[in-house]
Structure 1
Amino acid sequence: MTDETLATQKKDLSNQWKKIGEQLWLKYYKILFACKDTAAACFSGNKRTLHSNIKDELEKQRKAWNGAFYPFYQGYQKIGIHGLRLTEKRIKNYDLQKYLKSTDTVLDIGCNTGYIALEISSSITKVQGLEINPCLINVANLVKEHLKISNAEFSTSSFENFSSKKQYSVILSLASHETWDNKSTFTFNEYIEKVAKLCLPRGILVFETHDLRTEDVPRMLSVLQKDFELEVQKKLEKEHRLMPERMLFVMRKR
């Protein structure tokens, strides 16, 4: 597949996802998810307040954020939020707990609403979530406070601008190496080069592709294997019928 063909396909899919985002917020969420979330929230006044605050943040995002719109992209059963990609199911699909230790420090690049970071926080020492969209970081902090989690931190920053004096024993790059709205400016080589610098020797990288229709997997693996050894490669089960097929790589830093 040529670079020009890939670029055209990605542009087409980007436009499709923008339309899907608006449709989900204006129609699909209200019909399918809202009734489930309302039922879950009825059991707890605190949860009702949390849901209301989350929805307020997502409405702010829809009106003010000049980029990809994520209306309940991530779901989190623990707090009664039903999204396209359920956090608990993703963690199981990735077999993520297998690669985590109590001493681990984790970086979650493009953490979205931070649900995966929050869910794994009890298994590790500390997790740092990184997300360019401030509305999604606000949601992450709302849920962090609700769940009384103290070892998770969330920062509003692009990966390009992120800096850290420390390295991490586990890095999560879950469909975050580029964005549909073209807010990411790194080439794939530049992205992986920075990931490698942030990863401790013999540390773990859990890497998820985007839609396999637009990814040059052999080329990606070639770049990844300059700094990492491949331990696991598998095609992922879809969390929802609207989601594309993706591939997961578990890599170890050389």
Structure 2
Amino acid sequence: MSKSKKFWDNASKNYDNTEERFEYIHSKSRENAKKYLNDGDIVLDFGCGTGTTSCELSSHVKQIHAIDISPKMIEIAKEKAIVNKVENVNFEHGEIFDKKYEKESFDKILAFNMLHTVPDPHLVLNKINELLKPEGLFISITPCLRDKMSFLVSMQIQLVRIMCKVGIIPVPIRRLKSIELDDLMVKGNFKTVETEKIYKDASSYFIVAKKV
């Protein structure tokens, strides 16, 4: 098992509790996303975590393929689906670069709170563009750790940076600004449809972008 998988497996136990303080951001981004979903959509939820977003959005689409590199996250997500009687979400341990995903096979692709943790965001955006159908939408929300944040969150981020440097956190957590995400969309051959800066102790950037 890779170090990153082990890290996220360990984090899965308290993941939902640690995310509660940012629930306003999470809820707002999910409500924003619903405006762009249709009953016939086939959706990929990339980095689905414990499945909260997939379960909530499931009633707005035909089917969701939800993937995460952490098997433990997927176990929790499957339990949520059973409890909430969600039947059109397929939770699976996997990565977006798995060969089983064919070109132009998804109407929408979601990436919530994870673009700042991938090894190569440009490579990921290119793959997302490849997997989307013509004029398909990429919907994301990403923490901007170089934009506005509370003093407490700022201190926590400094601690996280130290833990990353010494290898305690084996994940490349980037301190992005919203303008860098705008640039990422352009270089990934996307045209921005909507953006919104959402703030609650920390800044996050919601983006809807169309494949071009």
| Contact 1:101–1:123 (Cα < 8 Å) also in 2 | yes
Q: Quick one: distance in 1 between partners of 2:29 and 2:124?
A: 24
Displacement after TM superposition at 1:211 (Å): 3.1
Distance across 2 between alignment mates of 1:85 and 1:174: 13
Aligned to 1:252: 210
Unaligned runs of 5+ in 2: 147-174
Asked whether 1:149 is paired with 2:91, we answer no
Partner residue, 1:193: 126
Query: Does the CA-based 8 Å contact 1:73-1:84 persist in structure 2?
Result: no
Match of 2:191 in 1: 229
- Cα deviation, residue 89, structure 1: 6.3
One-letter amino acid of the counterpart of residue 76, structure 2: V
Residue pairs, 1:31-50, within 5 angstroms: none
Structure whose residues are more often strand by fraction: 2
Q: Which residue of 1 aligns with 2:157?
A: none
Hey, what's the Cα distance between the residues in 2 that align with 1:163 and 1:91?
31
Question: Larger relative contact order (C-alpha < 8 A, sep ≥ 6)?
Answer: 2
The 1:198/1:70 distance shift into structure 2, 3 A limit, reads: same
- Which residue number corresponds to residue 90 of structure 1? 26
Q: Report if the CA contact (8 A) 1:206-1:250 is conserved.
A: yes
Q: Which amino acid in 2 is paired with 1:197?
A: E
Judge conservation of contact 1:130–1:154 (CA < 8 Å) in 2. Answer: yes
CA distance in structure 2 between the partners assigned to 1:252 and 1:231 by the alignment: 7
CA shift, 1:74, in A, is: 3.4
Q: Secondary structure in 1 aligned to 2:6?
A: coil
Alignment root-mean-square deviation, CA: 2.3
Matched residue, 1:66: 6
* Cα 1:247/1:98, change in 2 over 3 Å: same
Between structure 1 and structure 2, the one with the greater Rg is 1
The residue matched to 1:154 in structure 2 has which SS? strand
Say if 1:139 and 1:85 are closer, same or farther in 2 by CA, change over 3 A: farther
SS of the aligned residue for 2:203 comes to: coil
- Specify which structure has the higher proportion of helix: 1
State percent identity of aligned pairs. Answer: 22
- 1:123-143, Cα deviation, whole Å (9 max, x unpaired): 110011111111110011111
Gaps of 5+ in 1: 1-64, 76-81
Residue 93 of structure 1, CA deviation: 3.7
Alpha carbons 1:91, 1:97 under 8 Å: kept = no
Distance 1:193 1:130 in 2: 18
- Which residue does the alignment assign to 1:204? 137
The one-letter code matched in structure 1 to 2:36 is: Y
Q: TM-score, normalised on structure 1? A: 0.61
For 1:207, the aligned partner's letter is S
Q: Structure 2 length as normaliser, TM-score? A: 0.73
